[in-house]
Amino acid sequence: MTQPIALITGATSGIGEATARLLSNNYRLIICGRREDRLRKLKDELKGDVQILSFDVRDKKAVFNAISSLPKDWQQIDILINNAGNAHGMDLIHEGNPDDWDAMMDINVKGLLYVSKAVLPQMVDRKKGHIVNISSIAGLEVYPRGNVYCASKHAVDALTKGMRLDLNEHGIKVTSIDPGLVETEFSKVRFKGDSDRAKQVYQNYTPLTAHDVAETIEFVLSRPAHVMIGDLLILPTDQASSTIVNKKSN
């Protein structure tokens, strides 16, 4: 039996890369990202059939061109994992950088929409598919200095719920996975390459790993046809909310 096809955005690092590694044994993979060199390296390391698509989810034309360029036997995508996302800065709202705002809204919200629009029609036609949107605890709570990032992830939460309603009659599953603190390149990007500041985010407690979240994605995808995991919050044991983390003193 032919393996199902899963398309993963943001596969060049973090949760996306970990998910690709975990799913490679049981799925044909389409790994997507901006950094083609990383995609090629990952493809070489993975088992099974893998296609590479290098594009920026913010670029609507590039998204549609890339996905439509897939070979015919790769165009019936069974699973879409909308993982590409970012955070930029932790400024007070009146001190925020509009360029940072654009980056977060364009990638986290519009990018998710563009990729979903490119993939969904064939799922609807076949009345089969599963969309997994990687959101965040920031889509469920708002924390100080998280204003626009939280807004973007609240939008993902709303879009997930809207997708679930609109796609219900077509038998398509829609899942939101909302991680808390995960140690990836996320904080380094948020703090614009400041590695020391990024490391401080994960000190004195045990954060989630990208593999932890990937295992959760694998579990969600493995449920039988009549079971859909709708919304799943995953936290490190040391985290109770966006602002309450049990950090141990040295």
Report yes or no: 93 and 116 within 8 Å, Cβ to Cβ.
no
The predicted structure's pLDDT at residue 23: 97
In-domain check, residue 246: no
9-35 burial code (b ≥16 CB/10 A, e <16) = bbbbbbbbbbbbbbbbeebbbbbbbbe
For residue 182, give the nearest of 59, 70, 87, 92 by alpha carbon. 87
Residues of the chain with confidence (pLDDT) below 70? 1, 249-250
Report the C-alpha gap between 51 and 225 in whole angstroms.
26
The predicted structure's pLDDT at residue 21: 97
The predicted structure's pLDDT at residue 195: 79
In-domain check, residue 85: yes
57-83 burial code (b ≥16 CB/10 A, e <16) = bbebebbeebbeebeeebebbbbbbbb
What CATH number does residue 15 fall under? Answer: 3.40.50.720
Contacts of 48 (CB under 8 A, 6+ apart): 3, 24, 25, 27, 28, 29
Give the domain range for residue 27: 5-234
In-domain check, residue 101: yes
The predicted structure's pLDDT at residue 161: 98
Alpha helices, DSSP H, located in the chain: 14-23, 36-45, 60-68, 98-105, 112-126, 147-167, 186-190, 195-200, 210-221
In-domain check, residue 10: yes
Task: Extract the tokens encoding 146.
Answer: 């998280």
Number of separate domains in the chain: 1
Whether 27 is a known active-site residue: answer no
Cβ-count burial of 225 within 10 angstroms (0-12 exposed, 13-18 middle, 19+ buried)?
A: exposed
In-domain check, residue 193: yes
The predicted structure's pLDDT at residue 198: 76
For residue 39, give the nearest of 63, 62, 55 by alpha carbon. 55
Catalytic residue among 114, 149, 202, 205: 149
In-domain check, residue 248: no
